[in-house]
Amino acid sequence: MDVIELVKSEVEKLCKEYKNNSPDNYDFWNEHIKYVYNRAIELANKYNADIEIVGLGALLHDIALIKKIGTRKEHHINGQKISEELLLNYKYDNKKLIRVLDCIYNHRSSKNAKTIEELCVADADILAHFDNIPMLFNSAFNRENISLNNINDWLNEMLEKDFNDLSDKTKEWYKDRYNLIKDILIKK
């Protein structure tokens, strides 16, 4: 089995554990990680980035949240540590390891990305939100306690913030779809 398949099955297993042991039964794999992974590979192909580095970065970027280690604020730092351990267990090449760890550390905004691989993971993390609209409503109503009266403002702010966090080139590529999503979602 190649390293991507190994890590994929490990992350899927951890997501199942999270789902079974969390009060909200949040399915990290099916609600978030799989979308990030698919978009990251799409961007990697589009931008000629290294598919393996991007794929591993996408699969592991939120591993600290999935394993419930540390705070959300520091999940990019803890994620690096957990991923380093995991990949060293698979005897993963040291030079490539550093590049994967950088993708995890810098996934929280494409503004932090220093390489094209880091940019693919950071942008994919955002595109995953647009790919799963029901999840946005779940966040609004069940996590943030937003009322129906305030949903327009919340959605507007959330969608704009996400779009602005994309890199310039992904913004350019995605803008028509983004405008379509906003047009459909925002109440008139």
Binding site residues, Fe ion, CB under 5 A: 62, 125
The residue written with tokens 């940019």 in the block is 119
Quote the least distance from Cβ 16 to Fe ion, whole Å. Answer: 18
Quick one: the chain helix, strand, coil %, rounded to 5? Answer: 80, 0, 20
CB of 128 to Fe ion, least distance (A): 7
Give the nearest distance from C-beta 181 to Fe ion in angstroms. Answer: 19
Residue 43's Cα: distance from chain center in Å? 13
| Distance separating the N- and C-terminal Cα atoms of the chain | 51
Taking the C-alpha atoms of residue 186 and residue 137, their distance in angstroms, rounded to an integer, is 12
Nearer to Fe ion (CB atom), residue 109 or residue 115: 109
Cβ distance to Fe ion smaller for residue 30 or 152:
30
Strand segments (E) across the chain: none
DSSP letter (8 states) at residue 49: -
User: Quick one: 50 or 62, whose CB is closer to Fe ion?
Assistant: 62
Closer to Fe ion at the Cβ: 3 or 128? 128
Q: How far is the CB of 76 from Fe ion (least distance, A)?
A: 7
Do residues 154 and 140 touch, judged by C-beta distance below 8 A? yes
Nearest residue (CB) to Fe ion, 62 versus 102: 62
Least separation in angstroms between CB 65 and Fe ion: 6
Four-residue CA torsion sign, 178, 60, 65, 72: negative
